[in-house]
Structure 1
Amino acid sequence: MIKIAMVEDDLELADVLTQYLKQYNIEVTNYEEPFLALSSLKIEKYDLIILDLTLPGMDGLDVCKEIVKNFNIPIIISSARSDITDKVTALQLGADDYLPKPYDPRELEVRIKTILRRFNHNNEDIKEEKTKLFNLDTDKKEITKEGKYIKLTAAEYEVLSLMIKREGFVISREDIFENSDLLNSDYENSGSLAVIINRIRHKIEDNPKEPKYLHTIRGMGYKFTNE
């Protein structure tokens, strides 16, 4: 169920939209007073806000500004105002869409779901980024773990950066040598890669003997996990 807060003082319109959206599994709670709507956002969790601009006691643009400032929630402006300045200002303030009245409720339903798909996808991306323990900065040639710089030799950096770039995939010893400017056949023949892997583990693992991030896949190579 999609939960929406509507800020609309035209109660007849609010009722029509509420009944229409209900059939699409969208639950609407309407607030005629903007101050009451802002207070409710501190208590109730909504997926999206439909906001009129002409409201009693507080202009809708000011309401929009307060919502953007204090809450992470998408906003659709629903307004009869025809001034292009209002539309531009609303979008500049952070509104996600502007739907001029009158409009077909079907268009509102489509816009709601389109915005929520985009909004939820963006939030997932942000969440994914936040769960990454290791981050690679190729410009600075630096690798951090939970924001803390890891001191690496040039060879260690080359190996670990390749692992991070191919996170989740098994990388053979041959792949490592083919993609390295520093490691050559002498390293391969001498077994020095195993030494480099061991040094990296001592720098990134809580317990190098039981690695959680840099795994040896017997007979195949190595695999790196970043979570």
Structure 2
Amino acid sequence: MEHILLVEDDKAIVMGLTYSLEQEGYQVTVREDCPSALKVLEEKTFDLCLLDLTLPGGSGYDLCRRVKELGDTPVIFLTAMDDEVNVVMGLDMGADDYITKPFRVRELISRIRSVLRRARRGGENSHQLTIGSLLVNTQEARVWRQGEEVFLTALEYRLLLTFLNHPGQVLTRSQLLEGIWDVAGDFVNDNTLTVYIKRLREKLEDNPQTPRIIKTVRGVGYKLERGAKA
């Protein structure tokens, strides 16, 4: 049974998340402030940490820093701050993912599963995902194409990560919107999704007019080709 540390001071969120995670078969340890979380990190080993950014006695950044000093336990941030600076700062510190409140529990559980799958692969490459000539370092939130770094916005990066977490799988527009909705909230709708797909293709594809990485599946959605070449 995988053991998750949940550090959150909102009792309603704690109750709902603990119940949902336990129903999914996870063991959950809860702490509500930074000092007690730091203490339990010294005493126990966890498979994943869910860390609120704003906590009594410190911050999720403090906890993430200590988690990464102790090993390579995956970290997902729970945050009410959806601006790009805070997102990138957390990823730069080694966080594996983040989700913005209010979030959908099923989406968080999906992300937990994805992060744990990557962690189970082990080794220093567990944060490196490749597809064709693309290299994505999820620990640093950086992307390279044919050896040159590609600069993506937070929403473009989230969209790419959603595809990378489901290689070869056809994703409906609704599924993609669920994967990125927390970055821009109500500003992301079905029409703007088309715009972001177009922007992502322009940055990643050799010929965006005939995409070979992010393919359109007419009448259904999109998919990331497993063996794509940019």
- Please, what TM-score do these two structures have when normalized by structure 1? 0.53
Question: Counterpart of 1:91?
Answer: 91
| 1:65-110 deviation per Cα after TM superposition (whole angstroms, max 9, x unaligned) | 2222233200000111122111100000000001111111111111
Q: Does structure 1 retain, via aligned residues, the 8 Å contact 2:37–2:63? A: no
Q: Structure 2 CA distance, aligned partners of 1:49 and 1:59?
A: 14
1:155-194 alignment, distance < 5 Å: none
Do structure 1's residue 119 and structure 2's residue 119 form an aligned pair?
yes
Q: Does structure 1 retain, via aligned residues, the 8 Å contact 2:6–2:31? A: yes
SS in 1 for 2:112: helix
1:122 to partner: Cα distance: 2.3
Question: Counterpart of 2:55?
Answer: 55
| 1:23-75 deviation per Cα after TM superposition (whole angstroms, max 9, x unaligned) | 11012111001111111112112100000001011022222222222332000
Question: Counterpart of 2:41?
Answer: 41
Q: Could you list the runs of 5+ residues in structure 1 that have no partner in the other structure?
A: 127-227
Question: Counterpart of 2:21?
Answer: 21
Q: Does structure 1 retain, via aligned residues, the 8 Å contact 2:79–2:101? A: yes
RMSD of aligned Cα (Å):
1.7
One-letter amino acid of the structure 2 residue matched with residue 101 of structure 1: K
Question: Counterpart of 1:223?
Answer: none
Q: Moved runs in structure 1, 4+ residues, more than 6 A?
A: none
Question: Counterpart of 1:109?
Answer: 109
1:125 to partner: Cα distance: 7.7
One-letter amino acid of the structure 1 residue matched with residue 114 of structure 2: T
Percent of pairs identical after alignment?
40
Instruction: Give the total of aligned pairs.
Output: 126
SS in 1 for 2:117: helix
Q: Structure 2 CA distance, aligned partners of 1:28 and 1:4?
A: 5
Do structure 1's residue 30 and structure 2's residue 21 form an aligned pair?
no
Q: Structure 2 CA distance, aligned partners of 1:11 and 1:124?
A: 36
Q: Structure 1 CA distance, aligned partners of 2:91 and 2:38?
A: 19
Q: Structure 2 CA distance, aligned partners of 1:59 and 1:41?
A: 15
